[in-house]
Structures are given as structure tokens and as C-alpha cells.
Structure 1
Amino acid sequence: MAYEIPVTQARAELAELINRVVYGGERVVVTRHGKPLVALVSAADLERLEEPEGAPEPAEEQVIGSVAAVRQVASAAREPQRFGVVAEHRGPNPS
């Protein structure tokens, strides 16, 4: 929930409002005649708001990159028999 304040009061308390937003993690809505006019949000909040919808988080990007780098390696010709493997996965298009 955002803290609402009239524009006339916001002018007088701008430095305090900035501190509340930056250090207190609050969001401030400045109103005129009881109607929302503008909002004060931290730079971090603004970055999150401007991110494209569905964009992966940095940690997700790292996992996606790691998984994408995995490649399939063919087994040596006699390896399945050596370890007693009786079945193998051939992927979506077996040949």
C-alpha cells in the first residue's frame, strides 16, 4: 500500500519523502484534490516496473544458459554392454 500525500504538503516535505522511498522502501502517491497525480518509487522499483513481462531473473538466465550449453555426447560403441545397459534413450526423433 502506498502512502498518499497532497501536492502542497509534498512540496514542503520533498526531502523527507525521498528518504522514505529510498531508505524505507515506501511508495508515495502525490495527490491533487484527492486524485492520484504522480508516484515516487525507488530506482530499483522503477527498474522492476520497466522490465519486459516474463523476462527471466538474472539467476534464471544463468540456469537457462547452463542448460542450453549441455550437449548430447555419443557413448563409445561397447560402453552399454560393458555396464549392463539394456535400453537407451534416443531422443525425440529416433533413427
Structure 2
Amino acid sequence: MAYEIPVTQARAELAELINRVVYGGERVVVTRHGKPLVALVSAADLERLEGLAESEEQRTVSTVTALGSVPPGGQERQRFGIAAEHRGPEAT
């Protein structure tokens, strides 16, 4: 769980907050009017978050690529009443 602190207080205690994040392993959420504004996390946490985002992006690209390489089936066209199909430039 993250420690929450108002932005006005965070300004006055920035050095202490950095120490809590770096040495105490805490995560600090800075709020404005009670709503989360930013979060202070360690550089290691940031690397993990960025790695997760890249991993998710790669999975999405792989899934879309795999879906795009599935050849259209004739049975599905007949079943759903599809009379036309898209052919790429290489099919001409």
C-alpha cells in the first residue's frame, strides 16, 4: 500500500520522501484536493513497470500478427453469406 501525502506537504518534505522510497521501499502518492496526482516509486519499480508495459505491447503485436496470418476459410464465407473477400496486392 502506498503512503499518501498532499502536494503542499510533499514540497516541504521532498528529501524525506525520496529517502522513504529509496531506502524504505515505500511508494508515495502525492495528492491534490484528495485526488492522486503523481506517485514516487523507486527506479527499480519503474524499470519493472516499463518492462511489463513492453511485454504487454509485444504480446499484443504477436496476437495481431498471428490473427492476420490466418487464411480465410471457404466454409465460413458460405456459412455467413459472405460473397467477397479482400485480396492483398500480391494476389493480383
TM-score band, normalised by the shorter chain? Answer: 0.5 to 0.7
Report what 1:40 is aligned to: 40
Instruction: Tell me how far apart the structure 1 counterparts of residues 55 and 40 of structure 2 sit (CA, whole Å).
Output: 22
Matched, 1:9 2:9: yes
Cα shift readout 1:22-73 (whole Å, capped 9, x = no counterpart)? 000000000000000000000000000000236xxxxxxxxxxxxxxxxxxx
Going by fraction, where is helix more abundant, 1 or 2? 2
Instruction: Tell me how far apart the structure 2 counterparts of residues 53 and 3 of structure 1 sit (CA, whole Å).
Output: 28
Deviation at 1:18, TM superposition (A): 0.0
Report what 2:55 is aligned to: 53
Identity of aligned residues (%): 93
Aligned length: 54
TM-score by length of 2: 0.57
Instruction: Tell me how far apart the structure 2 counterparts of residues 28 and 53 of structure 1 sit (CA, whole Å).
Output: 25
Unaligned 5+ runs, structure 2: 57-92
Moved over 6 A (4+): none
TM-score by length of 1: 0.55
Unaligned 5+ runs, structure 1: 55-95
